[in-house]
Structure 1
């Protein structure tokens, strides 16, 4: 692999991160609301205290969060914090830092999203390859309309349907949450089973949402691949159908399939956030929802930058493993 190409890709990643950080910084500033004053007024109202000294407290907190500085200083400070992976204190959960708040929710999102997208990709790719192979059983064609339906329905709508059917009507799975309120968190088999039981419906909603699109895309790639000359030549040589299917058809259709997976990562992450909010799952979805309601600038900034960074790293990683999937791809000038 060419080092010049690797440097260009890393510079492009940094450019994307800078653009996302800039947009993420300025959009919340367009709101006329003052999150510091809102939090202090809420605390004063709930505590039955008067408003004496409220402005002074608001000014003190604004100075602590750097909100009293000129906009360009806030912007440079925010960029420096992005480089340091330090997003300061959470306005809504002070005195906790943004990193600690995200650190509690991130493992739930990673487990739910990563497992769901891997299952959807593997099953969707195998199913799509079988649908596009002319020698597959005819009954598989009945799955094409089902795949089109699930790919067209948003993940949170599928989540509503699953909640109504399996949690409300049949009462097979829990309605919401990550584990039972009476459960004792730990690595015991009972707690792990309880977590899996609560994660089944949100994971199923994400898998069904991604599965149909993956299957239809792989089916289209297989249809185009089957018509290539090397497939006809492999059949003429008398190779076994299984080898033609795996080594010639699936292997050549897999590269665009991986590219499509990377292209859909942004949509999948957004769907994961919505599904987590719907199921009251303790991941980044609930944090984003609460941060938007109270306009927690620092928490919103940290979550968004982590999501953008994850998509950029995934894109770079897949781009670098392309030569392993297809030896014809070279990033050097030879």
Structure 2
């Protein structure tokens, strides 16, 4: 229980630091977002209208402490201001419409890479010295060395442009109306194949190699050799004895992988014009959309912290020594 409260306290402190940093950095920059929008209208707006924009975007001349507490109140209520790019759409609405696409595509591809890569690494290590052990690691390292954007372009060119098997852009067909119906869902699935495949190909290689190496090291431990000598079944020996402990280093990699899900894959989403967080973040930076950048940064930071907290709990469950401060009997 003490370990849980320690990690929870670290989560809250880190979250407060991220929120505070998100408040301070834009205010240290010269000018303000309202002036940038004012410049886009080339003087066609009155000073009163500019002041109204400043109030809408949450910028004022009040002292920083007052602004800070107003900012915290807005964060608690989910009010991140208005987006420049999609004005007058609120930032929260833009994030809410983009986040499901990123979690659906990047999240599914990441989890699929972890599951397939971990089971593949376990089987290769268990049958070490065989055909798979001699060929699959080399093949996976080859795919791992391919640049991420190059894989996306190749899949797009071969399966989208040349063979015309899958759509080349966006998340669903332009002739589809979003809703819980089969034509729309099937369109979403077809549009998501290439983006998911891009992330899967780039990610599964590392999981296979990492799990294989961990598994081989674990299989050489004395307790595994002793269990094998006692006649423990191969299935139980593989999963209950060796794989469970070999998974511990993978959990750390899982924390990093889960943390990157919400941030999206900027390159993948740009190549396929996939309307996720990465695509919107790149658009926001290009258009100097500070409210949208702030809102996305805060959501990404929050999800990263929560993902790491969950992984810490899982790690403590798998390895009780973590809860006791590393003490061993």
TM-score, normalised to structure 2, is: 0.88
Per-residue Cα deviation, 1:112-150 (whole angstroms, up to 9, x for no partner): 122111101100101111222245732343111222233
Q: Which moved more, 1:229-238 or 1:69-78?
A: 69-78
Distance 1:286 1:271 in 2: 8
CA shift in 2, pair 1:307/1:143, >3 Å: same
- Any gaps of 5 or more consecutive residues in structure 2? none
Offset at 1:296?
Answer: 2.0
Q: Which residue of 1 aligns with 2:255?
A: 262
1:308 aligns with 2:308: no
Where in structure 2 are the equivalents of 1:188-227 lying within 5 Å?
Answer: 188-227=181-220
1:59 aligns with 2:51: yes
Distance 1:241 1:333 in 2: 30
Q: Which residue of 2 aligns with 1:24?
A: 22
Q: Which residue of 1 aligns with 2:158?
A: 165
Distance 1:330 1:30 in 2: 41
Q: Which residue of 2 aligns with 1:13?
A: 11
Offset at 1:218?
Answer: 0.8
CA RMSD in angstroms, aligned pairs only: 2.6
Distance 2:295 2:187 in 1: 30
Which among 102, 108, 111 is matched to residue 109 of structure 1? Answer: 102
Which among 166, 181, 189 is matched to residue 174 of structure 2? Answer: 181
TM-score, normalised to structure 1, is: 0.87
CA shift in 2, pair 1:188/1:178, >3 Å: same
1:228 aligns with 2:221: yes
Q: Which residue of 2 aligns with 1:77?
A: 70
CA shift in 2, pair 1:240/1:178, >3 Å: same
Q: Is the 8 A contact 1:35 1:294 kept in 2?
A: no
Q: Is the 8 A contact 1:41 1:54 kept in 2?
A: no
Q: Is the 8 A contact 2:277 2:296 kept in 1?
A: yes
Distance 2:326 2:217 in 1: 29
Q: Which residue of 2 aligns with 1:123?
A: 116
Question: For this pair of structures, how many residues does the alignment match?
Answer: 326
CA shift in 2, pair 1:260/1:70, >3 Å: same
Q: Which residue of 2 aligns with 1:48?
A: none
Offset at 1:56?
Answer: 4.0
Q: Is the 8 A contact 2:172 2:191 kept in 1?
A: yes
Per-residue Cα deviation, 1:195-232 (whole angstroms, up to 9, x for no partner): 11100111111111221111111112112101100111
Q: Which residue of 1 aligns with 2:60?
A: 68
- Any gaps of 5 or more consecutive residues in structure 1? 46-50
Distance 1:267 1:102 in 2: 16
Per-residue Cα deviation, 1:276-326 (whole angstroms, up to 9, x for no partner): 222111211222122112222221111111111111111111222334434
